[in-house]
Amino acid sequence: MPAQIDFKSGSEVRSACRNGELTGQTSGLAPGYAQANLVVLPREYAFDFLLFCQRNPKPCPLLDVTEPGETSPLRAAPAADLRTDLPRYRVWRNGKLADEPGDVSSLWRDDLVSFVIGCSFTFEAAMLRAGLPVRHVEQGCNVPMYKTNIACDPAGCFSGPLVVSMRPMTHSQAVQAVQVTSRYPQVHGAPVHFGEPSLIGVGDLSRPDFGDAVEVRDGEIPVYWACGVTPQCALMNAGVPFAITHSPGCMFVTDLLDESLAIG
Amino acid sequence: MPAQIDFKSGSEVRSACRNGELTGQTSGLAPGYAQANLVVLPREYAFDFLLFCQRNPKPCPLLDVTEPGETSPLRAAPAADLRTDLPRYRVWRNGKLADEPGDVSSLWRDDLVSFVIGCSFTFEAAMLRAGLPVRHVEQGCNVPMYKTNIACDPAGCFSGPLVVSMRPMTHSQAVQAVQVTSRYPQVHGAPVHFGEPSLIGVGDLSRPDFGDAVEVRDGEIPVYWACGVTPQCALMNAGVPFAITHSPGCMFVTDLLDESLAIG
């Protein structure tokens, strides 16, 4: 159970990824350090994708974007190597999942631009400090994620549905969760919806599109946040010839402190 | 004095620009409607410039970015025409100011991408509502703007100094100005500095680099906000073959309500 290893910093998590010791999901690891989604694309697609992020800041809040070919995100974790420091990657060819390796060094190219996109795992530490439940952390599994019927604002070749992560809680906890997570706009911020899943085109909560199902107890409602898997759907739709992303739940842990991203 | 015409909306200001009735600065016009800087660049430079904005959100807060060739900013003012709806433009060739026309229709190209960048004129209505002084509005002139010795975070071919706008006020008013303007991060937000100009490399306050000097009264300190002329300096430094911007102080007035941009 990687979640039981006591990682004290983003740097320690990244070392464990680089050494092959950590190959699974990162929720709950190195509490206090911001976690991030990764999208790596050829320079040719970088303007359209950056524009997609700019137009869809809730699912795609940018923590850092590299110059073409750079392997370290200088603002989010200057000593990191994006080719080795995630537990698991996804490699996409022509919009289709081609491989899911633990290292992408051999695939690196000088024209690749890396997008480091805030992840909601970041505000889970703040939720826990406020006494709010984070069910997938309790259950030691990955957060459940669902495709919705809410369309992202398209940009160039990129378009697709908003993907959400879901955390169940009571109504009064949901109010507090809005307050707590609103302070973190750079890691998806406030929820986009709560309650009845069909209102956002989600069918069976027990069958998430990504990640693992979690228990929704009596008196609880599902609360949904914009999710960094959204850009993966946009990549699939665009059929980009080549791209690399993180594997869902297996995030890039940065040097940025959660609280350095908080407002208000 | 254009400032005395009673414009009720962004649309009315833009009509007056289109008809050639308004050719001067826009501070104080159509109170409540967000004003914006404009940068128009060939697609070839659009990724680097978008990255420059992403890395420097205080001077370059993006309200809208168009697809290549689009003449209307669909999110900020869908019925507007960016080629005619500003009072005055600047045309840049190889990083040098080439012309300052009132209309750029004849220069338009299918590969031009337009960046609509929030302007601090937007939060002046909120400052006035809070009883704070806005000296250049009182004096009926353009806001004074200064190049600082603070370097922007470079991106691709773009780099340069942070440019600031300045508004003088008392110390206690400065505290309140921090509170008021912090609510508007998409139009430069909180001040970047206050007090002694030499600490940010500004020499003589009576000789601004752009705009007009304003009176600083006894007991007042200068308060500085990041300014949307910053990207014009980056354009000059990059020596981009062709670009169009607004003329300093002669902004694009959007359909966005100031309060729709407020947080907290």
Residues of A in contact with B67 (CB under 8 A): 51, 155-156
The pLDDT of residue A203 is above 50: yes
Q: What is the predicted pLDDT for the residue at B199?
A: 95
- Put simply, whether A190 touches B (Cβ < 8 Å) is no
Nearest CB partner across the interface for A51, out of B55, B65, B153: B65
- Put simply, whether A250 touches B (Cβ < 8 Å) is no
| Closest listed residue to residue B43, CA positions, set A148, A66, A51, A232 | A51
Q: How confident is the model at residue B79 (pLDDT cuts 50, 70, 90)?
A: very high
Q: What is the predicted pLDDT for the residue at A223?
A: 97
Residues of A in contact with B153 (CB under 8 A): 75
* Residue A203: C-alpha distances to residues A174, A231, B65 (Å): 21, 21, 35
Tell how many helices (H) and how many strands (E) occur in chain B: 6, 11
Architecture of the CATH domain B2-120+237-259: 3-Layer(aba) Sandwich (3.40)
Express each pLDDT in B252-263 by its tens digit. 999 999 888 887
The pLDDT of residue A199 is above 80: yes
CATH fold, domain A2-120+238-261, is PSTPO5379-like (3.40.1640)
Residues A55, B75: C-beta atoms closer than 8 Å: yes
Cα B36 from Cα B115, distance rounded (Å): 9
Q: Mean pLDDT, to the nearest integer, of A59-73?
A: 96
Q: For residues B136-166, b (16+ Cβ closer than 10 Å) or e, as one string? A: bbeeebbbbbbbbebebebbeebebbbbbbb
Architecture of the CATH domain B122-226: 2-Layer Sandwich (3.30)
Q: Give the residue on A whose Cα is nearest the Cα of B179.
A: A264
Higher pLDDT, B186 or A40: A40
In a 13 Å sphere around the CA of B235, the CA atoms on its Cβ side amount to: 28
- CATH topology identical between A2-120+238-261 and A123-226: no
CA distance A156 to chain B (A): 7
Q: Which of A44, A45, A51 to mutate to test the interface with B (most CBs of B within 10 A)?
A: A51
- Sign (positive or negative) of CA dihedral B92, B93, B97, B103: negative
Express each pLDDT in A168-193 by its tens digit. 999 999 999 999 999 998 889 999 99
Q: What is the predicted pLDDT for the residue at A3?
A: 47
In chain B, % of residues over pLDDT 90: 86
Q: Mean pLDDT, to the nearest integer, of B87-115?
A: 97
Nearest CB partner across the interface for A65, out of B54, B62, B263: B54
Predicted complex ipTM = 0.79
B237 token code pair: 């430094």
Nearest CB partner across the interface for B54, out of A43, A62, A264: A62
Express each pLDDT in B44-73 by its tens digit. 999 999 999 999 999 999 999 999 999 999
- Put simply, whether B65 touches A (Cβ < 8 Å) is yes
Beta bridge partners of B257: B33
How many residue contacts between A and B have a Cβ separation below 8 Å? 36
Nearest CB partner across the interface for B51, out of A50, A55, A156: A50
Question: Which residues 2-61 of chain A have a CB within 8 Å of chain B?
Answer: 43, 46-47, 50-51, 54-55
Residues A65, B43: C-beta atoms closer than 8 Å: no
Q: Mean pLDDT, to the nearest integer, of A234-259?
A: 94
Residues B43, A47: C-beta atoms closer than 8 Å: yes
- Put simply, whether A62 touches B (Cβ < 8 Å) is yes
B252 token code pair: 């694009």
Nearest CB partner across the interface for B65, out of A46, A54, A75: A54
In chain A, % of residues over pLDDT 90: 87
The pLDDT of residue A1 is above 50: no
Cα B172 from Cα A104, distance rounded (Å): 55
Which helix (H) or strand (E) covers residue A150, if one does? Answer: strand A145-151
Residues B67, A263: C-beta atoms closer than 8 Å: no
Q: What is the predicted pLDDT for the residue at B4?
A: 53
Q: Give the residue on B whose Cα is nearest the Cα of A46.
A: B47
Query: Structural domain boundaries of chain A?
Result: 2-120+238-261, 123-226
Express each pLDDT in B211-237 by its tens digit. 999 999 999 999 999 999 999 999 999
CA distance B263 to chain A (A): 9
The pLDDT of residue A60 is above 50: yes
Residues of A in contact with B156 (CB under 8 A): 67
Express each pLDDT in A120-152 by its tens digit. 888 898 999 999 999 999 998 989 999 999 999
CATH code that applies to domain A123-226: 3.30.2040.10
